[in-house]
Homo-oligomer: A and B are copies of this chain.
Amino acid sequence: MATLKTEIRSGVYYDSAKLMSLQRSLAELPGILDAGVVMGTDSNKELLAHIGLDTPEVRATKPDDLAIVVKAENEKAALEALEKVEGLLAARKASSDQAYQPRSLESAVDALPDAEWVIISVAGRYATAVTREALRLGKHVHLFSDNVSLDNEIALKKEAREYGLLVMGPDCGTAMVDGYGLAFANKIRKGPIGIVAAAGTGLQQVSTRIHQLGSGITFGIGTGGRDLKAEVGAITFLMALDVLTRDPDTKVIVLTSKPPSPKVAEEVLKVARKAGKPVVVNFIARPVTTLRDGNLFFATGLDDAARLAVELANNPPKLTGDADLPIEKFTPQQKYLRGLFSGGTLAYEAQHILYGYVPRVLANSPINKEFQLPDAFVSQEHCIVDLGEDEFTVGRLHPMMDNELRIRRLYEEAKDPEVAVIFLDVVIGYGSHPDPASEIAPAIAKCIADAKKDGRHLEVVCVACGTDEDPQNLNNQIAQLKAAGAMVDTSNEVICRYVGRTLRALAERDEPKAKTVGKPVDLEGLKKPLAAINVGLESFSENLKDQGAPYVQVDWKPPAGGNEKLIDILQKMKPRRK
């Protein structure tokens, strides 16, 4: 019958590679059926229980304790295995050929002053202190460690921003800096695409697909999967986006994230719209409402993002920006949209599309019930009124047959000094008014003229829905509306997006200029040949060696015997260097 034996060691520190290597060595010893070597956290204890390596001693461990369990054919084999533990732990990894391993980050920096990066993969509870030390030594940090608290993440990132340094992480698996991979990273061709990812394997999936599609990347900057949470506010993400925006070698930017805070996602996109180059966006679980918004291109998945980026890099799109919008013609008071619709579906589509540009569009028949216009007869803010709704049509003709009510309302809206844009649909065909433009166009012309007398530019836009074979003739209707001064298109979607961009630009005109926070990252420094200091998993040093990058592995042990309070106090006593 199998027997279980346990050994507990308190207050020791070994990195996880060492523990895993010990576990494997024990499991391969004669007479041993299975072995577990873990720190005594709750989930590790649950795991051991789950695989039948549960003992009373294991159950009593604390997170600081190392639990070593062997399951053996008999007691003798178990005891013999445990006797070998000391020797196995002491064995130095043969592959490590770095003659001198500094014991501190400071001496490592002295040994390799050109290093711009520190890679940190020590246990989560020590990672904050090591990161802070690296930042104060003036280094960017790739923080691979997980189990770092959100509060610590925020504090570290805020401090780094002041110094113009990147904290990629915590729990950041992957980064690629100008041809070199840090931690988990693939060998990707150099090329014209830069990636920012709050998504470790997201970055790997996008970059590998880009490589497979024949293109390549400049930078792949990981931020840790929580960077777009509301609490963190995309600190690293925005710094990285700024780097790629400034980098002349980056022709296309890809942004990807684990499910983001919707509000933070919109803030990031607002910045991305000003990048002046194509930006492909795949924020997981953010609904796609359009495939393109100016320089932003929306993907349905990571693979689709890679495909789009390569296409855009190969065939650069024409980016016109907002130069076509009449923003400077409006008075400072003008800001609102009034939509006066006869078609219910067109009114719904307008709301749906405009939600993508401005946060609130009221309506008498709203998609989002929060945006109910309190009184359909009185406009407020941005609003869309469907005059074909039941409230307007009891014992009255539908507004497609009779323009009277809509024209009355048009005059009202046009007088409002806060109104910038009026949006009408003109729907022709059998059953509709025999010549709606003959009534609507003169009213539009009068509204525009009256506003002009009053010193205002009134933008009137119309979707004209019909065909050249309709009794009213579409082209004739369009000509009348255009002659009156309206912008006209046959696609509701086209008009809605034009209106959306206008309203967004008006809102941004009225916003206070954002203060520049922190210091910009030094782009030139990032583009120097990579050199890095590694604290933690030795395999990350081996990666650097394989890629021909200078590195120093720190022979790190928790200071102050692992006492976290004491570590904190010691750190506060150190001044910032560089």
A-side residues, CB < 8 A to B, are 16-17, 19-20, 23-24, 38-39, 41, 43-44, 46-47, 50-51, 63, 66, 123-124, 146-147, 171, 173-174, 181, 183-189, 197, 199-205, 208-209, 211-212, 225, 256, 258-259, 284-285, 287-291, 300-304, 342-346, 348-349, 352-353, 367, 376-378, 388, 390-398, 400-402, 404-405, 408, 425, 427-432, 463, 465-467, 469-471, 474, 490-494, 496, 537, 539-540, 543, 546-547
Contact = CB atoms under 8 A, between A and B. Distances in A.
Contacts of A343: 173, 200-201, 204-205
Contacts of A43: 376, 391-392, 394
A465 B208 contact: yes
A430 B492 CA distance: 50
B345 A466 contact: no
State the main secondary structure of chain A at its contact with B: mixed
26 contacts: A17-B397, A20-B404, A23-B404, A183-B431, A184-B400, A184-B431, A185-B429, A187-B429, A187-B469, A199-B348, A200-B345, A201-B344, A201-B345, A202-B349, A205-B349, A208-B429, A209-B490, A212-B467, A258-B345, A259-B352, A259-B367, A288-B288, A289-B300, A300-B493, A302-B492, A401-B537
A202 to B, nearest CB: 4
Contacts of A203: 345
B258 A467 contact: no
Contacts of A63: 394
Given A146-B393, A284-B352, A543-B431, A466 B208 contact: yes
Contacts of A402: 20
B348 A259 contact: yes
A187 B63 CA distance: 76
B146 A377 contact: no
Question: Which residue of A211, A285, A290 has the most chain B CB atoms within 10 A of its CB atom?
Answer: A285
Q: How many copies does the complex hold?
A: 2
A395 B16 contact: yes
A561 to B, nearest CB: 17
A348 B228 CA distance: 15
B285 A288 contact: no
Contacts of A393: 16, 146-147
B146 A187 contact: no
B494 A184 contact: no
A429 B377 contact: no
A264 B19 CA distance: 54
B348 A285 contact: yes
A3 B63 CA distance: 89
B205 A394 contact: no
B211 A377 contact: no
A284 B367 contact: yes
Nearest to A305: B493
A303 B492 contact: yes
Given A396-B38, A430-B184, A345 B205 contact: yes
A404 B394 CA distance: 72
B430 A547 contact: yes
